[in-house]
A and B are shown apart, each in its own frame.
Chain A
Amino acid sequence: MPEQLAYTIEVFLNGLMAGVLYALVALGFVLIYKASGIFNYAQGVMALFAAMTLVGIQNGQVPFAHLINAIFGTDVHGFGWSVHSFVAILLTVVVMIGLAWAVQRFVFRHLVGQEPIILFMATIGLAYFLEGVADLMWGSELKSLDVCAAQGVCLPQGMNSWIDETTFNLFGYGFFIDNLDIVASIVAAILVIGLVMFAQYTKQGRAMRAVADDHQAALSVGVSLNFIWILVWSLAGFVALVAGIMWGAKSGVQFSLSLIALKALPVLMLGGFTSIPGAIVGGLIIGVGEKLFEFLIGAPFLGGATENWFAYMLALLFLVFRPQGLFGERIIERV
């Protein structure tokens, strides 16, 4: 196989993998937007908060230790134990559900029926708030994330040797695929299938879809809007946790984790804010598109680092032809 073709295929495959990671972030946005029409600016910060909470619980950190020490002059840091990853994940999920309840109870319950821009603004406030609380709670230094599902079976890192060797024997060029990316893809697939099953086959899922379709109608057949909204915020919190783990495994848990939301924006624009398959397909297109562009045009001719803006240019290109996004609901305009 000619070298250039092998390279292109490799870049393509890695683009797909990157796309899955983008889609993971975008999924959280879609869930909330679909059910309540809120564009949740705080989704990135939620990922950061979830990942920090997970690491904090794992390492047995005392929440707000620094603040407590500063006020009371004490010297507490950790409980001195470490928690098994499984338990830590469960506890983090509980925290995220608590957060969802609090957000619903204290913020959005007071803002029912407001315009989208106002709801968006409330999430800005939420983002500021959560960022501050996360830092106060767990400290702003960098933490390594080490998730082990069972004893000895941890999130894998590094290149997949099997793919490397097999492709080398077949084509004379060993493809690079990251183990973590493979896991991320599997997790994303399970997550999406799970979400779809939940939405299709459970009572709560049906209620959720009903609310997404029409608030008033759902309310009139006895669906509790309040409950559904807590549910979708919890789901979004869970998705944020998964995204936080996948991204944090590579970079460590730190403030920059909240910036992954930026990677999800072009995906959302492209895939449509209201479609779960849209988020996945959009993620894949953006991932592949930006990687291929960087490889074929960006790096050789434009000096590189073109991915950030090209993702938006690509989304723009699609939108010019389909203004509602690839899978967005058709915009019907009447006067």
Chain B
Amino acid sequence: MFYREAGDFNTTYAEDQQTFPIKFDRYRYYLVLFIAIVVVPFTVNDYWVNSIFMPFLIYAIAAIGLNILVGYCGQVSLGTGGFMAVGAYACYKLMTAFPEVSMFIHVLLAGGITAMVGVLFGLPSLRIKGFYLAVATLAAQFFLVWLFNRFPWFYNYSASGQISAPERDTFGITITGPNTEAWAAYAFCLVFTIFSAYVARNLTRGSVGRKWMAIRDMDIAAEIIGVNPLRAKLTAFAVSSFFIGISGALFFSIYLGAVEVGEAFGIQKSFLVLFMIIIGGLGSIFGSFAGAAFLVLLPVALKVVGVDILGWPTDIVAHLQLVIVGLLIIVFLIAEPHGIAQLWRVAKERLRLWPFPH
């Protein structure tokens, strides 16, 4: 009824090719943006930003990055934690070396450095395929964590071996360190999330993205029709690592403020982000958001319900949390094997015909 193409006339190519061709979709998208940009920053408190919005936004960036590599280009990666660590440490080194430069630039540069490291570890993908490629990224994961832990230069020879974000600002507003206002940290992460989603969406539907998908679907066939596998795979590694680096930099500098590499960026993080995109939906930007939301918000929600409302012992709630998350994953899969994004697509199809399904 409301969700339909009828009456939506596109008169220019630009209109025809926009991301949300259906009016209802577009307005919904504007509404979400409006709430995220205009409403939320003025209403949030520390709890909401630090426990809900920031992890969600930052993991969403990481998930978008990984989704480009795994979902669009078909290269399995388990090195997300390691690449996030590169972003975090690059950001830390830049922050402490050039304190007067804006954080925006540091975070972007950290992403750039991670992209270079990503390309380096992406080189074996030209030879090794499928699940076996995971070994290259796992090597990156363990090696990078070891490296940052081993050489004191990376943590500025501090006695503690941890890196802590000093107070830095951008446009005169403090965004790292303890004196940060909740809205400022939120807004800073939001800008990067919107930027990442926008860039990723437009890359993936352009010629670059089509090349990635051709490689994913069958690399030999893609090569025959003129896609250069070297360039396609390495650009996927570069773009993906760029986003993951940004998320690592934000994770360290804005969200936690102090990290230790083995604990924050261990193999568990790689798995977590991979779970997000698989659950959310491979090859879908919306899926990246949905997956991040699922794995960030659900445990918090379950904890709030179990401990704060029902008053159960914390350990039982923590165990039940695992059981419920596990069950939900399985139930979701049986209902809809292609992730939350596919559920959303199916729902849209239904909405299109509603209320007259025939």
Which chain B residues lie closer than 8 Å to A12 at the CB level? none
Query: Are B129 and A320 closer than 8 Å at their CB atoms?
Result: no
We find that the number of chain A residues with CB closer than 8 angstroms to chain B is: 55
Query: Are B220 and A335 closer than 8 Å at their CB atoms?
Result: yes
Query: Are A333 and B143 closer than 8 Å at their CB atoms?
Result: no
Query: Are A315 and B329 closer than 8 Å at their CB atoms?
Result: no
Query: Are A335 and B218 closer than 8 Å at their CB atoms?
Result: yes
With the chains together, A305 CA to B128 CA distance in Å? 27
A323 touching B128 in the complex, CB below 8 Å, given contacts A124-B278, A132-B323? yes
Q: Is A111's beta carbon under 8 Å from chain B?
A: yes
Query: Are A121 and B333 closer than 8 Å at their CB atoms?
Result: yes
Query: Are A140 and B315 closer than 8 Å at their CB atoms?
Result: yes
A135 touching B322 in the complex, CB below 8 Å, given contacts A39-B131, A129-B327, A335-B224? yes
* A 306-334 to B, binary, CB cutoff 8 A, 1 in contact else 0: 10110111011001100111001001011
Q: Which A-chain residue is minimally distant from B337 (CB atoms)? A: A118
Query: Are A132 and B218 closer than 8 Å at their CB atoms?
Result: no
Q: Is B282's beta carbon under 8 Å from chain A?
A: yes
Q: Is B267's beta carbon under 8 Å from chain A?
A: yes
Q: Is A203's beta carbon under 8 Å from chain B?
A: no
Q: Which of the residues A67, A114, A117, A125 comes within 8 Å of B329, measured between beta carbons?
A: A125
Q: Which of the residues B128, B267, B312, B326 comes within 8 Å of A70, measured between beta carbons?
A: B312
Q: Is the interface of B mostly helix, strand, loop or mixed?
A: helix
With the chains together, A333 CA to B129 CA distance in Å? 11
Q: Is B313's beta carbon under 8 Å from chain A?
A: yes
Q: Is A84's beta carbon under 8 Å from chain B?
A: no
Q: Which B-chain residue is minimally distant from A127 (CB atoms)? A: B326
* B 129-146 to A, binary, CB cutoff 8 A, 1 in contact else 0: 101101110110111011
Q: Nearest Cβ in chain A — how far from B319, in angstroms?
A: 4
Which chain A residues lie closer than 8 Å to B258 at the CB level? none
Q: Which of the residues A115, A133, A305, A312 comes within 8 Å of B135, measured between beta carbons?
A: A312
Q: Which A-chain residue is minimally distant from B312 (CB atoms)? A: A70
With the chains together, A39 CA to B134 CA distance in Å? 13
Query: Are B150 and A302 closer than 8 Å at their CB atoms?
Result: yes
Q: Which of the residues B128, B224, B326, B338 comes within 8 Å of A125, measured between beta carbons?
A: B326
Q: Nearest Cβ in chain A — how far from B140, in angstroms?
A: 8
Q: Nearest Cβ in chain B — how far from A263, in angstroms?
A: 12
Q: Which B-chain residue is minimally distant from A272 (CB atoms)? A: B132
Q: Is A181's beta carbon under 8 Å from chain B?
A: no
Q: Which of the residues B142, B316, B325, B334 comes within 8 Å of A128, measured between beta carbons?
A: B325
Q: Is B101's beta carbon under 8 Å from chain A?
A: no
B302-358: which residues lie under 8 A (CB-CB) from chain A?
A: 312-313, 315-316, 319-330, 333-334, 337-338
Query: Are B333 and A125 closer than 8 Å at their CB atoms?
Result: yes
With the chains together, A324 CA to B135 CA distance in Å? 12
Q: Which A-chain residue is minimally distant from B279 (CB atoms)? A: A121
With the chains together, A262 CA to B267 CA distance in Å? 9
Which chain B residues lie closer than 8 Å to A114 at the CB level? 337
Query: Are A320 and B127 closer than 8 Å at their CB atoms?
Result: yes
B83-102: which residues lie under 8 A (CB-CB) from chain A?
A: none
Q: Is A136's beta carbon under 8 Å from chain B?
A: yes
Q: Is A66's beta carbon under 8 Å from chain B?
A: yes
A236-290: which residues lie under 8 A (CB-CB) from chain B?
A: 262, 265-266, 269-270, 273
Query: Are A320 and B142 closer than 8 Å at their CB atoms?
Result: no
* A 170-192 to B, binary, CB cutoff 8 A, 1 in contact else 0: 00000000000000000000000
Q: Which of the residues B142, B143, B322 comes within 8 Å of A132, measured between beta carbons?
A: B322
Q: Is B154's beta carbon under 8 Å from chain A?
A: no
Which chain B residues lie closer than 8 Å to A262 at the CB level? 267
Q: Is B188's beta carbon under 8 Å from chain A?
A: no
Query: Are A121 and B329 closer than 8 Å at their CB atoms?
Result: yes
Query: Are A303 and B278 closer than 8 Å at their CB atoms?
Result: no
Q: Is B183's beta carbon under 8 Å from chain A?
A: no
With the chains together, A316 CA to B125 CA distance in Å? 11
Q: Which B-chain residue is minimally distant from A325 (CB atoms)? A: B132
Which chain B residues lie closer than 8 Å to A265 at the CB level? 134-135, 138
A331 touching B129 in the complex, CB below 8 Å, given contacts A132-B319, A132-B323, A309-B139? yes
Query: Are B221 and A335 closer than 8 Å at their CB atoms?
Result: yes
Which chain B residues lie closer than 8 Å to A273 at the CB level? 131
A136 touching B320 in the complex, CB below 8 Å, given contacts A117-B282, A312-B142, A323-B129? yes
Query: Are B275 and A124 closer than 8 Å at their CB atoms?
Result: yes
A175-221: which residues lie under 8 A (CB-CB) from chain B?
A: none
Q: Is B124's beta carbon under 8 Å from chain A?
A: yes
Which chain B residues lie closer than 8 Å to A316 at the CB level? 124, 128, 135-136, 139
Query: Are A319 and B132 closer than 8 Å at their CB atoms?
Result: yes
Which chain A residues lie closer than 8 Å to B328 at the CB level? 125
With the chains together, A320 CA to B328 CA distance in Å? 39
A305 touching B146 in the complex, CB below 8 Å, given contacts A132-B319, A313-B139? yes
Which chain A residues lie closer than 8 Å to B131 at the CB level? 39, 269, 273
Q: Nearest Cβ in chain B — how far from A284, in angstroms?
A: 17
With the chains together, A140 CA to B338 CA distance in Å? 34
Query: Are A309 and B142 closer than 8 Å at their CB atoms?
Result: yes
Best-surrounded residue of B267, B275, B330 (most CB of chain A within 10 A): B330
For the A-B complex with A132-B326, A319-B135 known, give 20 more contacts whose Cβ atoms are closer than 8 Å: A67-B316, A111-B334, A121-B275, A121-B278, A125-B329, A128-B329, A132-B323, A136-B320, A136-B323, A140-B319, A262-B267, A265-B135, A269-B131, A269-B135, A270-B135, A303-B150, A309-B145, A312-B142, A316-B128, A324-B132
Q: What would be 7 A-B contacts, judged by CB atoms less than 8 Å apart? A: A130-B326, A132-B324, A136-B316, A265-B135, A305-B150, A315-B135, A320-B124
Binding site for A on B (CB under 8 A): 124, 127-129, 131-132, 134-136, 138-139, 141-143, 145-146, 150, 218, 220-221, 224, 267, 275, 278-279, 282, 312-313, 315-316, 319-330, 333-334, 337-338
Sorted from nearest, which 4 A-B pairs have the closest CB atoms?
A129-B326, A132-B322, A125-B329, A128-B326
